[in-house]
Copies of this chain bind each other. A is one copy, B any other.
Amino acid sequence: MNYFQRKKIKDILADNIDSYKDVIVMGWVRTKRVSKNIAFIEINDGSCLNNLQIVILNPSEFPLDDINRGASIKVTGYIDKVEGREQDLEMKAEKIDIIGEAPEDFILQKKRHSFEFLREIAHLRARTNTFGVVNRFRSKMSYAVHDYFYNKDFKYIHTPIITSGDAEGAGEIFKVTTLDFEKLAKAENGEIDYSQDFFGKETGLTVSGQLEAELMASALGDVYTFGPTFRAEKSNTSRHASEFWMIEPEMAFCNLDEMMVLIEDFIKKLFTFALNEAAEEMDFFNKQIDKGRREIIANIIEADFAKITYTEAIDILEKSGVDFEYPVSWGIDLQSEHERFLTEKFFKKPIMVKDYPKDIKAFYMRQNDDNKTVAAVDCLVPGVGEIIGGSQREERYEKLKSRMQELKMDLDEYQWFLEIRKYGTVPHSGFGLGFERLLMYLSGMQNIRDIIPFPRTPGTAKF
């Protein structure tokens, strides 16, 4: 099959090959133009956005009639440098083998297809320019995340997907079970015996790896998770999916203000990686998806993130004179319109808002001395508002326990979580970044369904 001999188009176009002769290329046909004395085929192999132009000087000797758009072919030939053309490399074909044919009416025609249409054929959409770029971008940015943390000596932790507690009451949970539904449906007394279930109790899909990451940070220092999380919410919006990947770092010996420095560094390093190491993809997004996206990202890298408290934020909003849809007063949860006013209109750059009212935040956040607020922080960026949320965690056993009791939580379910506060507890902080949100922000892509290869949303789980 010549897997090791064939050249990837990416390398050919970057002039990164050792010989211009006896070159083998394999890929899928994007266009074909045939005239009497010459023919052109553009071929793409998924290695990069650009196609390689194949030139056929004696068309009658090649099986061109059987080569439709979408077909896979193997081309043997030599590379020619053509001066003064946009794409200055092309390949002269000496031999073309058809690997797999495609029908003339292959569904991906040259015209532009709508994203909605392409969602219905998720098995083929990665063969389009946009979704090729999106998938390569997703892959590169995944690597960027691992590379950032590896070089900072954070330990990557695989937290469990099947869990027995709802970490933070973050939303509805998918149940995981091996109970026999038919038996259940035929049971006469209406009772469910979870001791018969696979794990001997009720289990569900994780909504966050944070609590387990806290356990590990209390032994290893700096850790992070990067894995799938789930929400069984019937929100059919362009920003919600039922299954998505979260990045959740957790740092021992780190307080809120220190974490805010880390968050700023993290965002800037990831954004810099995107501009430099995923330049092809960012250029595409900048041209085809959202003009000016590159500049927005570059500006964030240059900016000094503003840092204010929630109380200061409320003060700014109240004095703004803006007629918000949701009225502003101390104690409200900031809405997107408020966040965007702060970051876009008032500060005109990313900001971090800290010390939120405890009643609108999760039980595990560290209680501030004012008894009203907790050490939470949200990072807001122009265009969307919140992109990262985090907090210093309550490391004091008694404080955490009494807060949990106040909220009528089942302490037994959180035994381990409480216990690490009894044995050499340490101040620690962590944050969460939705990977798809990050990709949407960098790319300007508007629908989360277009950022995930095979998205899961209410009513949709094809394949």
Contact = CB atoms under 8 A, between A and B. Distances in A.
A245 interface: yes
A198 B3 contact: no
21 contacts: A4-B261, A8-B153, A8-B221, A45-B221, A46-B219, A70-B424, A101-B424, A107-B423, A126-B219, A135-B157, A139-B155, A139-B156, A143-B146, A158-B245, A163-B463, A174-B176, A179-B181, A184-B184, A185-B185, A228-B228, A416-B462
A201 B459 CA distance: 8
Given A47-B221, A123-B419, A211 B463 contact: yes
B232 A198 contact: yes
Given A199-B458, A425-B100, A254 B1 contact: yes
A404 interface: no
A5 to B, nearest CB: 10
A298 interface: no
Interface in A29-64: 29, 45-47
A463 B185 contact: no
B426 A102 contact: no
A179 B106 CA distance: 39
A187 interface: yes
B198 A458 contact: yes
A168 interface: no
Contacts of A161: 161, 205, 228, 230, 243
A6 interface: yes
A92 B411 CA distance: 42
Given A136-B220, A163-B461, A178 B232 contact: yes
A377 to B, nearest CB: 14
7 closest A-B pairs (Cβ-Cβ)? A126-B219, A100-B425, A46-B220, A123-B416, A199-B461, A72-B424, A46-B221
A62 B228 CA distance: 47
A28 to B, nearest CB: 5
A160 to B, nearest CB: 5
Given A1-B254, A427-B99, A186 B178 contact: no
Contacts of A165: 463
Given A8-B153, A190-B186, A462-B416, A100 B158 contact: no
Interface in A356-385: none
A3 B463 contact: no
Nearest to A27: B221
A135 to B, nearest CB: 6
B463 A423 contact: no
Interface stretch (A78-86, A321-329, A448-456): A448-456
A354 to B, nearest CB: 15
